[in-house]
Structure 1
């Protein structure tokens, strides 16, 4: 039973927006050969996949059914495949093209995404806490 308050959909939306942004700027990323944002997104997708695995043990406890679990697994699989494809492309480009300003931009991006990841984890923990009260 999908819900706007379901933490999966909150995290999914934020990850999907980041993937879309990464894909739209991929030609620029190819020039700089910086895989920092892609790597962080991969970690988020893996974390979401682990959460889905936990939810699959007792979907009814989380208010979802088997079909929803499979839909979530498919989305994380597709997102991971997309990120892996971009990662392979970036890895074949020499990193000597990266300038100092791009390194600072990459760190800023990493910091921003890391803060979003922390926020997402907090939302998930809150949701699990509230579910445990029900």
Structure 2
């Protein structure tokens, strides 16, 4: 039986065509952005095609096992059986490698998505960004008001201290003037007393002179 008429080769060509399309889709899948809509669709398509091709290869491999029981009945020999086994094994490896890489990235993306969902759940416990912005604005405004209030208070205290220093300086100056005035008055009184003493002495001398 020629290869063109052998059911194995007819099915083999169909499976090989499916594998070629699978590899083409896989190469496109490798180039698209992770977690993009296109990659998600390609991931589903690749996994579905992998399962379909694996089933077809398994069914074709069963026909090889059946033919191996009585090769002469099917007009084939051990060399042809080994050739068919190698092809099914190679086809299974190609599909398995594609499936392994797709599943690995899918699980990685699933873990990433789980982390994102976890972050979303955490964020749900927090105010939304708009509320956070408003809260930040309120806090910032409150902080500015507090700083402004504290600054005003400090300025008021400094002004009060300046006023107190001015008042104290005025009091010291006034007391100084009062003290100077008192000192001058004391000097004046002392001069008056001295003059009175001098006058009294003079008067006493005149009285003594008159009595003599």
2:103 to 77, 84, 91: 91
Cα offset for 1:2?
4.2
Q: TM-score, normalised by structure 2?
A: 0.43
**C-alpha contact (below 8 Å) 1:15/1:44 kept by paired residues:** yes
1:51 to 51, 57, 63: 63
Q: List runs of 5+ in structure 2 lacking aligned partners.
A: 31-38, 111-212
The structure with the greater share of residues assigned to helix is 2
Q: Does 1:82 align with 2:94?
A: yes
- Which residue number corresponds to residue 52 of structure 2? 40
Give runs of aligned pairs for residues 108-123 of structure 1, distance below 5 A.
Answer: none
Cα offset for 1:29?
4.2
CA-atom RMSD in angstroms: 1.8
Q: Distance in 2 between matches of 1:66 and 1:81?
A: 22
SS of the residue 1:5 aligns to: coil
Q: List runs of 5+ in structure 1 lacking aligned partners.
A: 98-134
SS of the residue 2:105 aligns to: coil
SS of the residue 1:93 aligns to: helix
**C-alpha contact (below 8 Å) 1:45/1:80 kept by paired residues:** yes
**C-alpha contact (below 8 Å) 1:2/1:64 kept by paired residues:** no
The structure whose Rg is larger is 2
- Shift >6 Å, 4+ stretches: none
Q: Distance in 2 between matches of 1:37 and 1:56?
A: 28
1:60 to 67, 72, 77: 72
Q: Distance in 2 between matches of 1:82 and 1:94?
A: 19
Cα offset for 1:3?
2.5
Q: Distance in 1 between matches of 2:16 and 2:3?
A: 17
- Which residue number corresponds to residue 6 of structure 1? 6
| Alignment length (residue pairs) | 97
